[in-house]
Structure formats: C-alpha cells, structure tokens
A and B are shown apart, each in its own frame.
Chain A
Amino acid sequence: MAERGAPPKVPAIQRRILDAVRAFSSPLLPDDYLEMINPLWSTRELRGRIEAIEPETEDAATVVIKPGYKWEGHEPGQYLRIGIDIDGRRHWRAYSLTSDPGRPDGCISITVKNVDEGVVSPQLVKHGEPGRIVGLGGVEGTFKMPEEMPDRILFVSAGSGITPIMSMIRDLDRREALHDVLHIHSAKHADDVIFGEQLRDIEKRNAGFRLHEQHTQKMGRLGPAHLDELCPDWRERESFLSGPAEVLDTHTGHWEKEADCERLHMERFQPIIGGDVEEGKGGKVLFRHSDTEALCDGKTPILVAGEEQGLDLPFGCREGICHTCVGSLKEGRVRNLRTGEVYGGRGEYIQTCICAPEGLVEIDL
C-alpha cells in the first residue's frame, strides 16, 4: 500500500453524515465524489493547497500551504512529510516546518533548498505554482523546545539547517519570549542567508535576540573554537544545532568534550542508515507472496534485496519513517540498520526499508 497523508481533523457531525451516505456510494466513499469538486475535502488524508511560493535566496524558496482542514498544530522545530505528484508519481519528502503554529491565516510553510539533480525540490523551488495540491503527512521530530522554557538559548545553524530554528524563533517572537537568545548562522554570503532580512528585522525589534551571521566566503568557517569568543556562556545555554552532517559532527565532538550534552538538541536531516551501527551478518529472505528468495548482506535492507530480485514491494519514505513498507515477519529476526537493534517475533510488523535479516527470514510480502 502506498503512503498516504495524515488523517485530517474532520468535525464529528461531518463524519457522521458521510458515514450515513456511504450506502449510496459503496464500495466507494462519499469522499470519492466530493473530491471531484474539491480535492481538499478528502477525509481520508489531509491535503493542502500551495498558496504562494516566496523566493528566499537564489536557490531556496518558502512554500506556503493552506491545509484542507484546521491545522492541528505542531511544535516549532518539527518536520512534516509532503506528498507531491511529479510526472504521474507521488513522491514523499520530509521538510522542516518554518511557520510557527500561531499563524493567523491558518497556513503552514516549509522552506526548500533547490537541489538541481533532485526530483522534488526543483518542482517546488523552480517550477512550483500556487494552486497545486499536495498530501500532508504526519508531523514528526523530537527537535523542539523542552517543556520548561529555558532562560538562555543558543541556536547554531548552517545553510538550510536554519529551517526548523526559524519556526522556533518565529514562535518565540510571536509570544514575545525572545529574552536572551543568540543565533549563530553560517552561510556563504549575506544574500545566501535564508530568512536573512526577517532575522535582521527581528533583531532590530527585540533587544533579547542577537544574530551573528558567519559569511563563510569572507570570514571562513565557524569552528567550535569560535564559540567561546561569540558566546562565552555557551556551556550554560540550552543549545539547538541544525545543519549538514559534517557541521553537526564537529560541533558534537566539541560538546562531548567540553560541556553537558543534556542541553544540546540536534536535527539531522538525513537519518543515518547503516552509519556507525555495527554490521550484522545478513542472511536469506523468503518473500512468501511471490515465493522468491533474496540474499542480503548485513547492510542491505530487506526492501532493496527484494527489489533487486524484481519484486514490486510496497515502499514509501525509504528511511524508516512512514511505515508503508511494513510486512509481517513469519520467521527469523531482523537488525534495524538505524539503531543496530536486533529483534523480531512471529507476526511482528517490521519496516523492510531499514531492516536487514539476521539469518533466515520469512516475510509475508
């Protein structure tokens, strides 16, 4: 089954009416007919319409989306899966929400950096048009403010890593809670700073918000050593780090040596599959529906091994998020390639996109 959007928050009375008229539309749903008038009315999955595409820098743009039903809200810093039809196929991608939950027009926004060889980003940044309908998946992510509001905050971001942090800053700004916040952001040059103007404006309006822009073309890269200079009290601040993998790695190394990692929050854009996790021994997978066998080494997900055998298996995000690819385990155990954990019991549903077999595995797919 293919991945679908999150269930929308439909008023109870509407649900009841729709259930009642199902007798007239079976086996279809009343939805199937209502969607012919307006695809946003779907009660099966939350959809949204692109209202505007606002260029931020030369190669990044903010996509403003109006959800079909009342937005249930998110916590600043979280991300959203977006499904978009391109050349007949629906593609799902996760993007950090850059809007804050209190937006009065009920819209949400994501900010996308164009990757020329990418499938989805050029469609949004370069060829995007208002009016396009997109699927809105679940809101996920643990990169968010702690429940108890910290007194002092440090944001460190680089490139498009600024996106989840922007949602946090907007939220704090709207709630007039920018009391003692330092934001250190790295970008190539001034025009390459996503949200540059808005951040500068926020800084002007809020005495409690300081922005340091590190323009790497002129000023060089920001090393962890710069921290002491820019923010002498960084060890005592609740810190949020977001950016490309190499930036995260250098900073976390420094943090581990010098400070309390409890106070460090991080967002990695690409979940690491395989990464540091100890490699398993792999094994043989038997796909029961097609009676096909595939050999898998310790790094290859079951999904990929099946596809290499020519099987048409269900898949979605391919990074362990959407649960579209799950299959029921009939025999054997699997290793989670993201965590290294080995598990599995008869009948347990496993995510084939991030699991490799540990020995012989039989799966009901």
Chain B
Amino acid sequence: MTTSTYTEVENPLHKLTPEQLEAIGKEFDDLHDEVKADLGERDSTYIRSMIDLQRKLALLGRVMLLGAPVKPLWIAGTTSLSIAKILENMEIGHNVLHGQWDWMNDPVINSRSWDWDTASTAEAWRHSHNYVHHTYTNVLGKDKDLGYEIMRIDPHQKWHPVYLAQPFYNIVLMCLFEWGVATHDLDFDAIRAGEKGKDEVLQDLKGMGHKARAQIVKDYVAWPALSALATGGAELVKGYRNKPRTRLGRRRWKRNLQADVIEAAGRGYKSALKADLTANFVRNIWSYSIIFCGHFPDQTYVFTKDEYEQETKGGRYVRQLLGAANIDGGPLFHVMSGNLSYQVEHHLYPDMPSSRYGEIAPRVREICERYELPYNTGPFFKQVGSVHRTILRLAFPGGKVRPKPGPYKGDKVKNEGEREAVKAAA
C-alpha cells in the first residue's frame, strides 16, 4: 500500500481551514447535545415497541412454521421470521450494542447486557465494530472493516493474485455474512502482529463456539424438532379418525399409520429447517447489502494514517461524513436497514438513538451545503451496484479512484417522514 497518491481526487477535507474545522466541530457537537437533552418517553416508547414488534413477528413466524410442510404457512412463516431476524440484527441489536439506548438506564436494553441473534458475541463486536471501525473509519491500514481484511475495495490497496478470487468469496461472504463477521471479529491482523495473546484468542473462540452452538441448536434442531412433533401429531390424529373396525384391518392400519407419522414428522423437520435456513440467508444477504453500502460506494473517501493522526475534532466529523454513504428510501426501508441507510448520521453520532437520524438529516445536509461538503447518498440499487462493480474491477490490478460528487446542493428534506419530523421540531 502506498500513501502518496491521494491527490487524484481532491479530498474536501483539505479545502477546509482550521477555523472552519473548529466551527464544524462545534456545530456537530451542539446538534448532538441538543438531541441528547431532548431524549425522553417518545424515544423509549419507540425502542420498546420495536422490540415488542420484533418478538411478536418472531413468535408468529415460529408458530406458523409448526405447519411448515403446508406451502402458504411455510411462505408466511419464513417471511415473518426473516423480517424478525432483520429487525433484531439491524434496528435493535446493532443499535443497542452501540449504547444508543443506554441513557434509559434500563438493565436489559443496555449495551453491556444485550446479546443478539447472530454468531458474533456482543463483546467481540463492541471491540471490532464500535471501537476499531467507528474510531478509524476509512483510515487505510487502520479500519479493518475496509474490505474486511480479505477484499481489495480501494485502488490504494496493493494488488495480490489472491484478489482474483474476490468476486467469488464476496458471494460466499454475502450468504454466510453472520459467520464471516464473527470470524472477522477475531481480528487476524492483531493475531498475526502478536497484539492479541493466545488467551484472548482462545477466549474469543470459546465465546464464538458458544454462540454458534446456541444458534445451531435453536434454528436447526429445536424448532424443526417441534415442527416434526406438530406435523407427526397431526398425522396421528388424522389416522385415528380412520381407525378400521375389523381386527385384521386394524393391524395393517397400525403399521401404515406408524410409517405415515414418521414420514410426516420427517417432512415437518425438513421444511422447518429449510425455512430457518432461508430466514438466516435472507437476513445475511440483507445485512451484507446494507452494510456494504455504508462505506464502499463510489462517493466515499478514504484517509491516510497521517491524516488521522493530525486530526482535530472537527476533522473527525468531516472524515465520518466523507467516509460514509446513505441510501435513499422511505420510512419502512430505513427501519429495515436499522437506520443504517442514515450511515452518515450514524457515523457522526454512533450513540444517538437511530430513530433520531432521520430527524437530524436535514440539518446535517444544511451544514454540508454551508461548508461546501458532499453528502453521500443514492438509491439502493445504484449504491449496491457501485459496490459490486468495485469488487469486480479491483479483483484485477490497477483501478482508479472513482469520480466523487461535489458539494451538496440538493433538497434539505428528502421524504415524508423527514418532512413530518422537521415540522414537529419546528
């Protein structure tokens, strides 16, 4: 990796004077404090209702999947479970673990006590994500989420023949995202560099193994077994309704019934297992896509270690602003993405309740416009498309930094939800 060729596209950070940077720092600090002082029942009601909704959806899905061999039940159950898993990971788990809801002083909805439905332990995640990624966002060589240590996502990363395979393992990572993230949390770089002791690695592996087992038992053993029981039981009840009167007939009926019940139970198990696999798969692809849209689209900038080391408070805000990209969408889309579609706002304020990102977005855009800074955003398919284009292109040697948008000049208010929020705030 070289550090000398960052002038191809001028980084807007360099156009700002120290005075401007200080003023930006103050403005973003004030916005943070303003929201923090305003947090109250409206917010706590939001997260509690979200958790309640997620649990109801999960239960509804599981109950429907007790009849998994029935096609409509399978489809409805799998959909419900997939949505529940997405909400659990994105809008609830990720955000609770950031400490966005710690101000409530609730013993359960708290970053220190929460655990989530994924392979990463809460502890390892808080280190690799909250600390490493959010502190060193887009600093080459420091932010280990930049390409997740296995991908060349920026032309400044030195090419190696192994990257020829990255379009392939990109797909694998997408499908097995939760396991990829859990492995990534181990921090291979730190292990190689000897920064992480054997004990620590062992501790992490143990935690991961514990979580993996709980995940596997729940999704691939316990619930499918319950479906098997339900389906087999239903078959048994059905069979008893046709109990023959003659003794001879009864013997044959009994034999057939036994076989039918076992067969039905097997069907129940398999269908429910497939449903759970699908739900995990859907959740993985969705979270992969949202997360890859956060920092890898064309619009984002990367930074050098030098730039990081000389950074002021205002500079940190600007780096977060330039290093992240939003996804346009309606309120439902934002909730399903855990409001990571407001990635810019999230990176400015990782500990602000996610429900507030949409409300402050117009004000962030206004600051961008005033200081002639870009505000990275785009429609979902454009963003995700540009990510995959980059992964394909950079599998091969060379590659150029993509063109960047200029200072933000668009609408302050983007959608109905924001319009209402702005009205309410005024």
Contact = CB atoms under 8 A, between A and B. Distances in A.
Given A2-B110, A312-B99, A314-B112, A87 B40 contact: yes
Given A33-B55, A33-B59, A24 B222 contact: yes
Interface stretch (A88-96, A165-173, A356-364): A88-96
B42 interface: yes
A44 B112 CA distance: 15
Contacts of A88: 39-45, 103-104
A118 interface: no
B116 A90 contact: no
B218 interface: yes
A59 interface: no
A278 interface: no
Contacts of B62: 24
A36 interface: yes
A319 interface: no
Interface in A50-87: 85, 87
Chain A contact surface mostly: loop
A14 interface: no
A27 B218 CA distance: 9
A27 B43 contact: no
Interface stretch (B181-189, B209-217, B247-255, B367-375): B209-217
A27 B44 contact: no
A323 interface: no
A90 B223 CA distance: 35
Interface residues of A, number: 25
A261 interface: no
A16 B414 CA distance: 52
Q: Which of A25, A45, A135, A314 has the most CB of B within 10 A?
A: A25
Contacts of B106: 2, 85, 90
Nearest to B88: A28
A150 B138 CA distance: 73
Nearest to B121: A27
A1 B112 contact: yes
A312 B218 contact: no
B369 to A, nearest CB: 29
A253 B42 CA distance: 51
B276 to A, nearest CB: 12
B107 A1 contact: yes
A26 B217 contact: yes
Interface string B96-111: 0001001111111010
B44 A26 contact: no
A264 B122 CA distance: 51
A364 to B, nearest CB: 13
A4 B109 CA distance: 11
Chain B, interface residues (CB within 8 Å), range: 35 or more
B218 A89 contact: no
Contacts of B223: 24
Nearest to A5: B107
A88 B100 CA distance: 13
B55 A32 contact: yes
B59 to A, nearest CB: 7
A3 interface: yes
A23 interface: yes
Contact of A87 (B41, B112, B215, B221): B41
Contacts of B113: 1-2
Contacts of B418: none
Contacts of B56: 36
B235 interface: no
Interface string A1-26: 11111000000000000000001111
Contact of A312 (B45, B104, B116, B351): B351
B213 to A, nearest CB: 9
Contacts of B108: 4, 32, 44
Contacts of B226: 24
A27 B107 contact: no
Q: Which of B59, B107, B113, B223 has the most CB of A within 10 A?
A: B107
Given A33-B55, A36-B55, A27 B116 contact: yes
Contacts of B218: 23-26
B117 interface: yes
A150 to B, nearest CB: 40
B222 A23 contact: yes
B263 interface: no
A312 B102 contact: yes
A2 B217 contact: no
Interface string A88-120: 111100000000000000000000000000000
B104 A27 contact: no
A131 to B, nearest CB: 17
Interface in B30-48: 39-45
Given A87-B40, A314-B112, A3 B105 contact: yes
B115 interface: yes
Interface in B249-272: none
A85 B110 contact: no
B52 interface: yes
Nearest to B45: A88
A88 to B, nearest CB: 3
Nearest to A90: B105
Given A24-B222, A26-B217, A2 B102 contact: yes
Nearest to A135: B107
Contacts of A36: 52, 55-56
Contacts of B40: 87-89
A44 B106 CA distance: 13
B222 A89 contact: no
A365 to B, nearest CB: 11
Given A33-B59, A88-B104, A27 B115 contact: yes
Contacts of B55: 28, 32-33, 36
Contacts of B117: 27-28
Interface string B216-234: 0110011100100000000
A45 B113 CA distance: 14
Contacts of B45: 88
A85 B107 contact: no
A45 B108 CA distance: 10
B110 to A, nearest CB: 5
Contacts of B52: 36
B104 A23 contact: no
A235 B152 CA distance: 85
A36 B110 CA distance: 18
Interface in B18-71: 39-45, 52, 55-56, 59, 62
11 contacts: A3-B105, A4-B107, A4-B108, A5-B107, A24-B222, A24-B226, A27-B117, A32-B55, A88-B41, A88-B42, A89-B40
Interface of A: 1-5, 23-28, 32-33, 36, 44-45, 85, 87-91, 135, 312, 314
What are the 7 A-B residue pairs with the smallest beta carbon separation, nearest first? A88-B44, A4-B107, A27-B115, A26-B214, A1-B112, A90-B105, A87-B40
Given A23-B214, A26-B217, 15 more contacts: A1-B113, A2-B102, A2-B105, A2-B110, A4-B107, A25-B218, A27-B211, A28-B117, A44-B108, A85-B44, A87-B40, A88-B40, A88-B42, A89-B44, A89-B104
